[in-house]
């Protein structure tokens, strides 16, 4: 992948045995995405700077719209007056949209190119979030569907964008965008309740989140224009994601992504509401929610640093998965006044996301295959993960408490430990050094004038 020796990378690949020359031929003969500008080696500095700025702005928006609504679910239901069924559906919209809209991302990027697909997704995200500001249940649902559909495309396309534009710094830039993603989610979760109080309307507060999405759209516009003006559009190589589900790599990537997404979105959707119904006031619940998000920022960086070391990927997955399991276990036994302890543990457990995204961005023999794997893992994973927030809501409504929902989260955390063990086995990590050499050779060939992509 890189043309120069890469920074320490998580040792994951499924193409370790492919000859370097064959990889180079594939990259030269079949560009992964139509209209893509190529690697960073021949870009002007301004294009790289704009790319980093855009990456940060996008990251700030990738979870803000979700956590902002989650922190105000109780207030939105009280003001708008919708019933328990709608209350269970609204937190499920993000994962359902991620599954359905995300499934078409591989096709969309093949038609438009990665950059134009992301630009379109950001316009949908901004429009949907602004629409949620209209104080009506229908607008809240419609805006969530439109915005989260845009977010779905952006989610799936980002690993391919990083691979195309920051091939030499895949781990670093994945860490940057996941850290900014968590930062945006944390700041929004903490600030949205005071913002709603200041504006006198929870709808106005969730709608105001769309302003940052508009900023992300405007920040990414120069990147898309640069690619449009400086690339030669050629026939895109499309890799269908669904046959990859029959491979060990595709199956395990989908499994680990599904489990972490199910756990994460169940918590992102219900954690502050859970604490409120357990007896904590809304402001303190928001602070605990923000703390959980805040802890996940350094946790993700630490886990990437650990996992990038030789033979340390499995311990990194063990650490984060066991910590995640400890969170719901303590919520079951500790009084709500000590919720800070499970909040910290759950926040560390959420740090698994950067590990999984680096694995996806470094998988596949080409950008097209990376996009296909990302589409497979995220669309299938989010479809199954919809059961998390929806099931938590229904179980809480049926039982009137949180014992059964938390016990289910504990069980899924234990399953994640097993999948983490399998995905970090020797069969999945064998030959990482050889694979990096293959990608280095392939990128060198692709970056030559003959490749026609730079």
Q: Round the average pLDDT of the chain to a whole number and report it.
A: 78
Rounded percentage of the chain residues whose pLDDT exceeds 90: 26
Whole-model pTM: value is 0.66
The two structure tokens encoding residue 423:
């995905």
Say if residue 430's pLDDT is above 50. Answer: no
Label residue 38 by pLDDT band (50, 70, 90): very low
Of residues 239 and 37, more confidence is placed in: 239
The predicted-structure confidence for 154-180, as pLDDT tens digits, reads as follows: 888 888 888 778 877 777 887 788 788
The predicted-structure confidence for 301-346, as pLDDT tens digits, reads as follows: 899 888 878 788 899 999 999 999 999 999 999 999 999 999 999 9
Label residue 16 by pLDDT band (50, 70, 90): very low
Q: What is the pLDDT of residue 8?
A: 39
Label residue 21 by pLDDT band (50, 70, 90): very low
Label residue 429 by pLDDT band (50, 70, 90): low
Say if residue 413's pLDDT is above 70. Answer: yes
Which of 87-91, 129-133, 418-422 has the least mean pLDDT?
Answer: 87-91
Q: What is the pLDDT of residue 42?
A: 55
């Amino acid at each position: 992948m890189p043309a120069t020796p890469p920074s320490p990378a998580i040792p994951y690949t499924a193409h370790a045995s492919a000859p370097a020359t064959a990889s180079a031929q594939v990259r030269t003969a079949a560009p992964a995405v139509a209209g893509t500008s190529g690697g960073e080696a021949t870009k002007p500095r301004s294009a790289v700077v704009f790319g980093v700025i855009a990456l940060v702005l996008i990251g700030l928006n990738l979870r803000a719209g979700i956590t902002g609504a989650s922190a105000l679910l109780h207030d939105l239901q009280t003001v708008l007056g919708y019933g328990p069924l709608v209350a269970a559906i609204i937190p499920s919209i993000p994962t359902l949209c991620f599954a359905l809209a995300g499934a078409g991302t591989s096709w969309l990027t093949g038609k438009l190119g990665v950059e134009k697909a992301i630009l379109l997704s950001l316009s949908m995200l901004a429009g949907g979030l602004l629409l949620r500001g209209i104080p009506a249940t229908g607008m809240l649902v419609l805006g969530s569907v439109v915005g989260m559909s845009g977010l779905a495309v952006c989610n799936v396309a980002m690993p391919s964008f990083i691979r195309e534009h920051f091939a030499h710094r895949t781990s670093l830039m994945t860490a940057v965008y996941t850290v900014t993603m968590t930062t945006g989610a944390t700041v929004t979760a903490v600030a949205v309740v005071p913002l709603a109080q200041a504006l006198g309307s929870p709808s106005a507060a969730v709608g105001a989140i769309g302003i940052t999405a508009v900023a992300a759209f405007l920040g990414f516009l120069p990147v898309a224009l640069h690619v449009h003006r400086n690339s030669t559009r050629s026939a895109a190589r499309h890799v269908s994601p669904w046959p990859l589900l029959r491979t060990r790599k595709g199956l395990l990537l989908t499994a680990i992504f599904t489990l972490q997404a199910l756990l994460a979105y169940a918590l992102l959707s219900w954690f502050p509401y859970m604490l409120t119904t357990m007896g904590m006031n809304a402001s303190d619940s928001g602070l605990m929610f923000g703390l959980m998000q805040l802890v996940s920022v350094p946790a993700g960086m630490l886990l990437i640093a650990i996992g990038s070391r030789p033979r340390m990927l499995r311990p990194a997955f063990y650490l984060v998965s066991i910590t995640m399991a400890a969170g719901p276990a303590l919520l079951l036994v500790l009084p709500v006044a000590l919720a800070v302890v499970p909040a910290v543990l759950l926040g560390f457990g959420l740090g698994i996301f950067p590990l999984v995204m680096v694995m996806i961005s470094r998988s596949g023999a080409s950008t097209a295959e990376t996009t296909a794997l990302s589409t497979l893992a995220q669309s299938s994973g989010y479809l199954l993960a919809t059961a998390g927030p929806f099931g938590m809501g229904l179980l809480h409504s049926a039982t009137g408490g949180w014992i059964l929902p938390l016990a289910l989260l504990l069980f899924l955390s234990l399953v994640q430990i097993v999948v983490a063990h399998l995905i970090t086995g020797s069969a999945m990590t064998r030959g990482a050094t050889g694979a990096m050499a293959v990608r280095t050779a392939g990128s060198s060939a692709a970056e030559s004038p003959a490749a026609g992509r730079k």
